[in-house]
Structure 1
Amino acid sequence: MAEGSTIIDPRDDVLGRARVTDTPELESFYQELAARNAGAFWKRANAIEPWEPETRYRPTLWRYAEMRDMCLRALDLVKPEEAGRRVVTLLNDSDAGRENTAVCGWLFSGMQAMRPGEITPAHRHTASAHRFIMEGKGAYTVVDGHHITLGANDYVLTPGGCWHDHGVVADGEVSIWQDGLDIPLMNSLETNFYAVYDQPAQTAAFPADDLPLSYGGAALRPEGVAAWEKPYSPVMVYRWEATRDALWSLAKVSEGTPFDGHMVRYSNPLTGGWALQTMGAHMQMLKPGFRGKAHRHTGNVVYNVAAGRGYSIIGGERFDWGTHDIFCVPAWVWHEHVNLDASEEAFLFSFNDFPVMEALGVRIEEALQDNDGHQTCAS
């Protein structure tokens, strides 16, 4: 290799890749370019056009027992009306995660606890949000005047641009849920707006649960109601019992996938597409003793263990998990899941940025071919 060459990866020493040998004359040229807010593309081409995706994020796991304690401590330390949103943020264990306030990729996540009688003041923002309820009783949200009740393992939407507030009824119980938002994506695109409502909370303008009761019937579309023309699902909340039953029914007639077991998408029943425009979500069931094979894909995924115990091997590292532990799989990282229980199913809720990948035409997936489809675990 010639002296002064910038080649780092041996694969780059081919026609079509940058492999310029720097000279004193070129170094002087680079300085002249820099003085003009310019640069030589070949100096950075190989780094910014990698052979395959290179994530800046790390697989990270948050133990529910630990994070639950942090959320309950926040109840005593911060008033919800002063915090705006009393959320404990989940930061990816990477410089990129801390810099972008991201859980993984361009996704944000946090955990929020609320006492009976408390509210999160009404507001709206460009970023879309969705939530997975982990525990409690009497939680609710109001989205553009639609009052929606929430229970454990329910999945609820608060789409971008909608007025929304949350609370727990006075005779309810302390409730905890996981938030997921596309805040990092909206900020990277410089499109994020935020506004507060002119009252602490909205007054419901429709009967309680009118949207899920109208649109939540499997394969059933309501007649005699105004046409739904908004770009997100009208269901708004997907109940745990119906989701679990759908997986049980699917398992009666399907073997599932070798990677994810039996999986269902939270979809817009009017289009069959994702429930939100920028973030998708799934619930999957791993049968007793399930040992999945490894695959990887563009797009980032954040998991919440709805029920069960097991482990996932992510990038060759083992992460053991139990109910409501949270973990993430960065883009283009090999991963596989295992249910450690020999008699009970494990259920994994997850959310992702797949709708963005699909809209841009860059959603790609591949299976691991070596070692019968399993990674070599380093731990």
Structure 2
Amino acid sequence: MPSDATETLSLSNKEKALRDMYDAISARNMFPFWATSDDVTNDEVRQLMATTRAIPYHWSYENDIAPLLKTSAELISMDDSERRSLVLVNPGLNPKRATVSTMYTAYRLNDPNEIMPPHKHSPSAIRFGLTGKGNFTGVEGEDVVFGPGDMVLTPNDAWHNHGTVGDEQAVNLSVLDLPLVETLNAIHFDHKYTEIEDGVEVQKKVQTAKYPSDYSAATYGQGGLLPRWVDNMRGGGLSSPMYVYRWEAMMEIFDRFKDIDGDPHEALMVEYTDPTRGGAVFKTITFFAQMLRPGEKTLPLRQTASLLVAPFEGTGYSIIDGERYDWKQFDTLAVPGGAWCEHHNGSDSQPVYMFVASDEPTLKKLSLYKRWGQTAAGDVVRYL
């Protein structure tokens, strides 16, 4: 047999053997971590980088969310389900319940005087008021009634319930680190809430209030002044013990600093912090309020942290990885980690206020948090 024919047969046999080997690897739920010079199908870099990932996305409250919230309130009662929330699912991650890879946003409308029973879970969560004055969360014995702009914590493993008090509907949005906790296989829920009555453990549908309704503000609302006689570890000490952050306090800060230059990449941005430790309110995710003054725009910023951005007041647009997203009040923007992002206030007379969630604390703990910005001249500078 001629040598070239022998070489062709040898190559053919090798290709068949390779195919058989790759089939065997796949059948045994393994992945080949190598690449050969003429093999594209099993290029490990291409395959590893081709996993599902979050994409920039925009949900309109007016067009997408509010109509479905209204319909859900008409069709699903508390007798049908103890939960009635719309979770925003990133198209790049579907069907996983995730708005970005580590967090999800959910919107909830409650009818008047509609309160669900207590429960707790391992994911950390917040509620941020959008409409109505009677949003309600009872958390670890503190009954919190909150309105637009107020943020309420429901920490990891803390008993809490949600609903509305008063005679009007109310809407709030939630942010949870559930996708992160789910990835770590650490999800748990508990719906059997009990209290001790006359020495007997009794299951209950309503938490008994243990603290005054203004306990968080009265205890921690001064900043820099911490009473020593209070229980700063309530709820297990897994989060900030201050469970409600009022919008009025945030507005006081913005009013105080509205005439300074601010940060070119973030304008005026204030982080919600744990008053006892000075860090983020949770160990996994953190939250900010962001102000863009009339006509203000931010320079492009890129970071490894993922963001969920919810415009609270005002209109404008954001450019995420070169694509423009126009937004209005109560919308949500998904900004995946690694995406370039800039925000523009669309008004020359009114400020914009945005509520922002970030997985920055997790990235920092893993030494994976990095940050780049573009200068006004277009140069890219690494900041962290």
Q: Provide the TM-score with structure 2 as the length reference.
A: 0.84
Structure 1 residues 211 and 300 mapped into 2: Cα distance closer, same or farther (>3 Å)? same
Q: Which residue of 1 aligns with 2:225?
A: 220
- Structure 1 partner of 2:198: none
Structure 2 match to 1:41: 33
Question: Match for residue 363 of structure 2?
Answer: 357
The alpha carbon displacement at 1:311 in A equals 0.6
Shift of 1:183: 1.4
1:272 is the counterpart of 2:278: yes
Would you say the 8 A contact 2:155–2:238 is kept in 1? no
C-alpha contact 2:232 2:241 (8 A) present in aligned 1: no
> Residue 134 of structure 2 contacts residue 164 of structure 2 at CA under 8 Å; is this kept in 1?
yes
> Structure 1 pair 35/344, CA: closer, same or farther in 2 (3 Å)?
closer
Deviation at 1:28, TM superposition (A): 4.3
State the shift of 1:241 in Å: 0.9
- Residue 154 (structure 2) pairs with residue 158 (structure 1): yes
With over 3 angstroms needed to count, the CA separation of the structure-2 counterparts of 1:373 and 1:324, relative to structure 1, is: farther
CA distance in 1, matches of 2:47, 2:124: 29
Structure 1: which 5+ residue stretches go unaligned? 1-21, 375-379
Aligned partner of 2:168: which letter?
E
Residue matched to 2:252 = 245
Q: Does 1:256 align with 2:268?
A: no
Residues 92 and 103 in structure 1, CA contact (< 8 A), matched pair in contact too: yes
Match for residue 180 of structure 1 among 159, 175, 184: 175
Q: Which has the larger radius of gyration?
A: 2
Matched, 1:234 2:241: yes
Cα displacement (A) at 1:150: 0.7
Residue equivalent to 1:90: 88
Where do 5+ consecutive residues of structure 2 fail to align? 1-13, 35-41, 194-202
Quick one: distance in 1 between partners of 2:158 and 2:348? Answer: 44
Q: Is the 8 A contact 1:307 1:346 kept in 2?
A: yes
Find the aligned partners of 2:276 and 2:359 in 1 and give their Cα distance.
21
Matches of residues 49-68 of structure 1 in structure 2 within 5 Å?
A: 56-66=53-63, 67-68=65-66
> Following the alignment from structure 1 to structure 2, what is the Cα–Cα distance between the partners of residues 224 and 205?
16
Matches within 5 A, 1:1-379: 23-34=15-26, 37-42=29-34, 43=42, 45-47=44-46, 56-66=53-63, 67-94=65-92, 96=93, 98-169=94-165, 171-196=166-191, 197=193, 198-228=203-233, 230-252=237-259, 254-368=260-374, 372=378
One-letter code aligned to 1:82: D
Q: Aligned partners of 1:120 and 1:261: how far apart in 2?
A: 39
